[in-house]
């Protein structure tokens, strides 16, 4: 069986009892970065072999992993932070497992966009998740498609591109569109701020930005 196990997005206490039990029971664990995952496993005294699984090697080893699963191995897949498959590797392996008849179990757990959305004060009844915006190719096409979107929109972004992305949103949705920025979620210096895009740009231009970021943008009224 393949287990998809969400990991804490910051605070190590945000890890379920079931997640710990699952990682202790499998034959080995797939992870993005063995150095990052080792810290989590050491914290919970989990001693299992770690195998790198990331965007640079997933195409090469998917077939081999499916063969191991079909041979009776139990494997867990974790990422550096959050739920596997949400802007992180997992899709290719899950699809291959489904095609081969291998059972896949996804555990509930931390996902950055959920606390950011519910904390934003923006409508939560209908929303779309877009993940990271393309660097170049496809950016204009995406913005054109979202220009008249009425649902709340959720994006991930890096601290280095935050202000530029907010400026892109301002050009697409207008300076007065309400939005929220959440960064360093679950950590000591967590920040959640909801305002107009114009004011958010002023706020984050005037400070050094660190940490993983979620941007929530109100839909068109």
| pLDDT higher than 90, residue 177 | yes
Q: Are 59 and 94 in contact (CB under 8 A)?
A: no
**pLDDT for residue 127:** 98
Q: Is 173's pLDDT higher than 90?
A: yes
The predicted model gives 148-162 an average pLDDT of 97
At residue 137, does pLDDT exceed 90? no
When pLDDT is averaged across residues 93-99 and rounded to a whole number, the result is 97
Phi-psi region of 174 (alpha: psi -120 to 50; beta: other; left: phi over 0): left
Supply the pLDDT for residue 156.
97
d(CA 182, CA 115): 9
> What integer pLDDT is reported at residue 135 of this predicted model?
84
pTM equals 0.93
Percent of the chain scoring above 90 in pLDDT: 97
- Confidence band (pLDDT; 50, 70, 90) for 198? very high
The mean pLDDT of 147-158, rounded to a whole number, is 97
Answer for the pair 184, 191: CB distance below 8 angstroms, yes or no: yes
At residue 70, does pLDDT exceed 90? yes
Q: Which of these, 187, 217, 188, 220, lies nearest to 200 by C-alpha position?
A: 217
H or E segment and range at residue 112: none
User: Given this model, what pLDDT does residue 25 score?
Assistant: 98
Find the mean pLDDT for residues 107-126.
Answer: 96
Residue 64: pLDDT band (50, 70, 90) is very high
| pLDDT tops 90 at residue 42 | yes
Q: Does the pLDDT value for residue 71 go beyond 90?
A: yes
Tokens representing residue 18 in the block: 């079931």
Q: How confident is the prediction for the chain on average, in pLDDT? A: 96
Report all structural domains of the chain as residue ranges with CATH numbers, in order of start.
2-106 (3.40.1010.10), 113-217 (3.30.950.10)
């Amino acid at each position: 069986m393949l287990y998809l196990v969400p990991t804490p997005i910051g605070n190590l206490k945000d890890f379920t009892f079931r997640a710990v039990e699952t990682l202790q029971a499998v034959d080995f664990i797939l992870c993005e970065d063995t150095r990052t995952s080792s810290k989590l496993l050491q914290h919970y005294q989990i001693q299992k072999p770690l195998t790198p699984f990331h965007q640079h090697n997933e195409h090469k080893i998917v077939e081999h992993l499916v063969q191991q699963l079909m041979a009776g191995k139990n494997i867990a897949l974790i990422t550096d932070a959050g739920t596997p498959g949400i802007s992180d590797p997992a899709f290719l392996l899950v699809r291959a497992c489904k095609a081969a008849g291998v059972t896949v179990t996804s555990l509930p757990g931390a996902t950055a966009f959920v606390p950011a959305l519910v904390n934003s004060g923006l409508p939560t009844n209908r929303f779309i998740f877009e993940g990271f915006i393309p660097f170049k190719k496809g950016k204009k096409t995406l913005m054109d498609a979202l220009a008249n979107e009425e649902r709340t929109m959720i994006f991930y972004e890096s601290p280095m591109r935050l202000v530029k992305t907010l400026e892109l949103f301002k050009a697409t949705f207008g300076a007065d569109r309400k939005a929220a920025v959440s960064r360093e979620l679950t950590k000591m210096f967590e920040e959640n701020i909801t305002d107009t895009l114009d004011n958010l740009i002023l706020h984050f231009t005037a400070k050094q930005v660190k940490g993983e970021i979620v941007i929530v943008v109100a839909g068109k009224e």
